[in-house]
Each structure stands twice: as structure tokens, then as C-alpha cells.
Amino acid sequence: MTLRVPVLLGGVVLVALLLNACMKAGDAPAPKAAAAPAPAAVAPQITIKFAVGGPDTLPIFRAVKDYFKPQIEAKSNGRIVVELYPGSQLGDDVKLLESLRSGTLEAAGPTSAPLVGIVPEMAIFDIPFLFRNTKVADFILDGKIGQELSAKLEAKGLYNLAWSEMGFRYLTNSVREIKDPRDVKGLKLRTMENPIHLATWRLLGANPTPMPVSEVFTALKQQAIDGQENPVVAISGWKFYEVNKYITLTGHVYSTLSFLYSKKLFDSYAKEDQDLIRQIAKETGIKGREIARNDEAKYIEDIKKTGLATFTELAADQKKAFQTATASVWNLVSEKAGPDLIKELKAELQKAPD
């Protein structure tokens, strides 16, 4: 009996030690699972609201609708979305420029005329009979002059991503056929709110009356005004030929369109998005020019088919008479744009192709 007691006690102690060890092992916390990798950063969604003060037939609007929108949405895999607002839905050109600069609108396609109030040098495009054809216009827009003007717009909070075109401006009225500067005398004509345009028509003896383009048709119909001046695309799109019988192909001003973007908003984008937007916008500007040039003859023929208006095309000597009557506008533009730019412009025009 004396020999069994130590053995039994030793066994009990051994079992107790083993149980204690097992309990401690069971109480040990389970190893932590590896942390899940952080989700990859997702580029933000961008909505580009593009607006024009004119109708949806404007070349720049059609180019944005048919080319820029599908291209940018496809190449961004739907992350960049384009919304379109034609027909002054978000305001006329002046209002759109205010929205761009304040950062409440992404992009717009205005003419150059209202830009003169922001960048006075833009007044050069309002000089009557400045470009003899579209080749000269392209040379100036895509060259040194166009680049300098784009830099000035950038300094005012506007990126000019592309120069485009609305075409040469023509005169319409409901009173008489226009063949000579004296035929313009006394006509009450709608013009844009632009000092150079106003001065040009006053030199011809007209009574220029600025108003938003969206109000012009009603004013013509009610005979509050006698006529207006615009490219054929606008004459067709706004149906001015329905209330103005006489259309004279004066070609007195070449009307540009720009693909402008809010600098405030554009600078907030990632560089990859900026590069994509810039490239496709540049291509869109070229598409807009092509549309304008292909469509002008078509719009003229379409209006002729209605039988509602007649067209008068000016001979070279007749155009010369209008040029002479408005020649002093160059001096007025020089006061706004500066004599150095006017000198440079004249030099570039001498280099332009025929």
C-alpha cells in the first residue's frame, strides 16, 4: 500500500497538468485573418452639359451631338456623360458665358461676338469682309492669331478647346431687295449686342436693334423690326425666311463658333480626362466646320423650294461698295483690339492662301 500512493498521486498530478495545458491552449485567441485589400480608386463620374444659344441645327451643336457625345461616352466607358441643351434652354450666348466663367456650366458653343466684352481682341472677327473665303478663315483660326486669342480667353476663365464655324453672315429683310449700301438705309435690323456690329450697320444707315436671337422670329412676324443678319444655318433653323422675303448673300462677316469649356471645372478633372476631352473636342471643331460648309448650299436650296424668299447674290463691285462704306470700322476695331494685333492680322492675311 505504501508503494502505490506516490504512483497514484503522480498520475493525478500528470493528468491535472495535461488538462490545464489543454484549457490554456483552448483559451488562446484565434489568429487574425489577413486584412482585405483596399478597393481600387474609382474615377469620378463627369457630366458635361453642353449648351448653345441657337437652334439644334447649329454646326457645332450637331458635331457635339453626332461626334463628341458618342466618342467621349464610348472612350470613357460611360463614365463621362454629355447632356445637350440647344435653343437657348440655358440662356443666350451672353448668359452661357457667365455660367461658364462661374463654373455652373461645363461647355458651350457661342459665336465670337459676345466674347468681345470679355476679350476685346476678339473684335477682329467682326470686321466686315475680313475673310474672302473659308481657306483664309482656317489659316487665321488655326494659326498664330487663333492661338493668341485662345490664350487670352484662358486668362478669363475659358478654355477654347476648338475653333469651329457658323459661316458667313447674310442680310434678310421684309421691305426690299438689297443690292447697294443705300438700300439698307432706314431698315430696322436685329443685330447682336456688339459695338462693332452696331457701328457697321449705322454706317450703312440702318437702325440696328440688339435682341436675343430667340426673340427675333416673333419680332419679325409682328413687324417690330424689318430684318436681321445671320448665317444661312440660323436663317434656316430659326425659319426667318418665313417672315423675311428678301435674302441678300452679303457675306459681310465670317461668324466663328468656339467649343468653350469652363476653366474652373476643367481644372478639377484628372489629367487623363482632360486629355481625352481636349482631343475629342478638337476633332469636333473640325467636324463642325465640315458640317457648316456642306450644309450652306443645301439650306439655300431648301429655302428656295419653299417659295417664301428670294436670294440676291452680290457681284464683286457691289461687295466693294459695301466694303468702302464700312471701311472706318477697322479703326474702331483697332481701338479695341490694339494696333499691334491689327498690324499682325494684316500681315497674316497677306500670307493666307487664295
What are the Cα distances from residue 263, in Å, to 114, 151, 160, 161, 270? Answer: 18, 12, 9, 11, 13
246 - beta bridge partners?
173, 310
pLDDT, residue 255, reads 87
Does the residue 224 lie in any domain?
yes
Does the residue 14 lie in any domain?
no
Q: Is the pLDDT of residue 265 over 90?
A: yes
- Residue 72 burial (10 A CB sphere; 0-12, 13-18, 19+): buried
Count: domains in the chain: 1
Does the residue 215 lie in any domain?
yes
Reported confidence tier of residue 106, pLDDT bands at 50, 70, 90: very high
pLDDT, residue 196, reads 86
Does the residue 5 lie in any domain?
no
pLDDT, residue 34, reads 53
Does the residue 107 lie in any domain?
yes
Q: What is the mean pLDDT of residues 232-253?
A: 94
- Cα gap 37→18, rounded to integer Å: 41
Q: Is the pLDDT of residue 40 over 70?
A: no
Q: Is the pLDDT of residue 287 over 90?
A: yes
Whether the Cβ atoms of residue 128 and residue 252 lie closer than 8 Å to each other: yes
pLDDT, residue 234, reads 85
Does the residue 345 lie in any domain?
yes
Residue type, 56: D
Q: Is the pLDDT of residue 36 over 80?
A: no
Q: Is the pLDDT of residue 33 over 60?
A: no
Does the residue 1 lie in any domain?
no
Q: Is the pLDDT of residue 244 over 80?
A: yes
- Cα gap 284→252, rounded to integer Å: 26
Domain that holds residue 194: 46-351
User: In this structure, what C-alpha cell is assigned to residue 239?
Assistant: 425659319
Using one digit for the tens of pLDDT, what is the confidence trace for 148-178? 999 999 999 999 999 999 889 999 999 999 9
- Cα gap 207→211, rounded to integer Å: 13
Q: Which of 190-194, 256-260, 312-316 has the highest mean pLDDT?
A: 256-260
- Cα gap 339→96, rounded to integer Å: 30
- Residue 210 exposure: Cα atoms within 13 Å on the Cβ side: 12
Q: Please report which helix (H) or strand (E) contains residue 171, including its range.
A: strand 158-173
Q: What is the mean pLDDT of residues 114-134?
A: 91
CATH code for position 144: 3.40.190.170
pLDDT, residue 37, reads 53
Reported confidence tier of residue 32, pLDDT bands at 50, 70, 90: low
Q: Is the pLDDT of residue 132 over 90?
A: no
- Cα gap 231→169, rounded to integer Å: 4
pLDDT, residue 15, reads 37
Using one digit for the tens of pLDDT, what is the confidence trace for 332-354? 999 999 999 999 999 999 999 87
Q: What is the mean pLDDT of residues 264-290?
A: 97
Using one digit for the tens of pLDDT, what is the confidence trace for 66-83? 999 999 999 999 999 999
Q: For cell 418665313, what's the residue?
A: 242
Reported confidence tier of residue 11, pLDDT bands at 50, 70, 90: very low
Q: What is the mean pLDDT of residues 204-216?
A: 94
Q: Is the pLDDT of residue 39 over 70?
A: no
Does the residue 4 lie in any domain?
no
Ranges 45-49, 81-85, 230-234: which has the least confidence:
230-234
Q: Please report which helix (H) or strand (E) contains residue 85, including its range.
A: strand 80-85
Residues 6+ apart with CB under 8 A from 98: 91
Using one digit for the tens of pLDDT, what is the confidence trace for 57-68? 889 999 999 999
